Amino acid sequence: MNKTLKAMVAALLVAVVTAACGSATPAASPAASAVATQAAPVTLQFASYAWQKATVDAHNKIVSDWNAAHPNITVKIVTVDVNSVHDKLLTTFQGGTAADIVHDESADIGGFSGQGFLADLTPLIPAEVKSDIPQGVWDTVTFNGKITGVPTILQTYSVFVNKKLLADAGVTLPTAAAPWTWDKFAQVSKQLTTADHFGVGWGLKSPAATVMSMSLNFNGLFFYNEGGKNVVKFGSAEQQVLKRIYDMAYADKSLSTTTLGQSGTEILPGFFGGKYAMIVGGNYVAQQMVEQAPAGFDWAMLPLLKGDTQAQSANPQTLSISAQSKNPKEAMQFIAYYMQASNLASVAIGDWLIPVSTSAGKAVTTITGGKNSWDVNVASAPSLKLAPFQILDAYAQWKSQIAQPAFQQYFGNKIDLATVGTQLIDGWTKVGGK
C-alpha cells in the first residue's frame, strides 16, 4: 500500500473502534442520525367545512405545500357539509371516527369540550402562535381553563350598499369615525324604499347567529349567571335587534319580507338587480360580491352598526385536535403551519373574514391594499368580544333547536315577541342548560 491508502485505512479503523467503544464524540454523520431518529409515517385527517371556492383553494394549497415539505406527515382533507357541521362532527366523535384536526367555530366547540371530545391544546400551542393572537380571542376558545381550539378567522354582520342608489337618493356613506346607528339605518332604509326597490334585503333563513351577535350592540346577553347557574333572560336589551328588524319589515315596510326566509346567498341576485338598495349579511358576502357582481356594480361594506356600542360576538372559526387522535403533536405542527401569516391571510381573503393574528392582519392589508372594503373589514376587529353564550356546553343545541325556530317564526309574523321569550327561556331547561 502507498502511504495515502494506509492512512485512509488507519483512519477508518479508528472510527470503527471509537464508535464501537461508545466514544463521547458523535461518530455518525448528520444524515445517518436523521435516518436513525426519523419517525414512522403519519397520516392526519383534516375535517373542514370550507365551502367558498377561494377558501377551498387556499386550504388545498396549504395542505399541498405542507405535504410536499413534510413527506412523513401527510394531511388529507375530509370535506364536511357547511350546513350540518355540528351533527356531522358529533356523529364522528360518538362513533370513534373523528378526524385528527377539526375545523369548527368557538360557539360550537364548548359543548364538544365539555363532553371530552377535544384535546387540551394548552401545552401544545407554540409560543409564537400564542403571542400573535389577542388574549380576548383566546378567551373564546378556553373552557374550564383548557384551550381546545386555535382561533383562525372572524365573522362580522355588516351592511352592504349599492353606492349608486344611495348617491341618487343623496345618502352620504358613514365613516369609521361616525358609523350609522340602528336608528339611522332604519331611517335611511325607509328613505331608500320606492316603488322599484326596498331599502333593505336581509337573508335571515337561519337568524340565530346574526341576532345573538348583533344584540351585543345593546348589551343583549341572553345568558346570565345567577348563583352559579346560567339562566336565559329576554329583557329589553335582548329584544332590541329582533324588534328593529321586525319593525323595518312590517311597520316601515322598508325591508323585504321575502328575503327574511332566504339565505344570504339567495338575496344577492336581487341586490345586483337593484331590488334592494342595501343588504345585511356576514362579511364573507364580500367575496361573493367580487366573484358574482355584474360589471360596473359599485358596492361597499359599511362600518358596523352601532346601538349603545358596535360590539358583536367574537366567534372565530377554529382548528381543534380530536381527543381520539393518536398524533396530537404532529397535528399541532400542521396547525402552526396553517397559522403562518401568509397562509392565514390566504384563508381570510378567501372567506373575506378577519384573521385573528396580528401578523396575518397586516399581511391581508398589504396584499389587498384595503380595496373592496378590506380596510373596513380589518378595522372592525376591536369591536368583537366574547359573548356569555359562547362558553356554555348546551348553547349549540339550544341555538339550533330552540332559538333558530323561535326567531324564524317571529320574523315570519307567526308568533309575537312575548312568545319568543317564553320559548327561549323554557327551551334552555329542555336542552339541559345549566
Answer whether 143's CB lies under 8 Å from 111's CB: no
Please give the model's pTM, rounded to 2 decimal places: 0.79
Q: What does 168-230 look like in DSSP terms, one character per residue?
A: HTTPPPP-SSSPPBHHHHHHHHHHH--SS-EEEEE--SS-HHHHHHHGGGGT--SEEEETTEE
Domains located in the chain, CATH noted: 42-154+315-379 (3.40.190.10), 161-314+394-430 (3.40.190.10)
Give me 366's grid cell: 398589504
- Of 387, 368, 386, whose CA–CA distance to 378 is shortest? 368
DSSP reduced 3-state for 44: strand
| 5 vs 153 pLDDT, higher one | 153
> What's the confidence (pLDDT) of residue 393?
81
What mean pLDDT is predicted for residues 120-139? 95
Backbone torsions φ then ψ of 124, nearest 5 degrees: -100, -25
Give me 213's grid cell: 351577535
Residues of the chain by 3-state class (helix, strand, coil), percent to 5: 50, 15, 35
Mean pLDDT computed over every residue of the chain: 90
Phi-psi label, residue 86: left if phi above 0, alpha if psi -120 to 50, beta otherwise: alpha
Beta bridge partners, 35, equal none
Q: Spell 384-403 as b/e; 16+ CB within 10 A means b.
A: bbbbebbbbbbbbbbbbebb
Answer whether 307's CB lies under 8 Å from 181's CB: yes
| 224 vs 315 pLDDT, higher one | 224
Give me 306's grid cell: 352601532
DSSP reduced 3-state for 109: helix
What pLDDT, in 10s, does the model give residues 247-285? Answer: 999 999 999 999 999 999 999 999 999 999 999 999 988
Backbone torsions φ then ψ of 147, nearest 5 degrees: -85, 120
> What's the confidence (pLDDT) of residue 39?
67
What pLDDT, in 10s, does the model give residues 324-355? Answer: 999 999 999 999 999 999 999 999 998 889 99
- Of 280, 283, 290, 342, whose CA–CA distance to 317 is shortest? 283
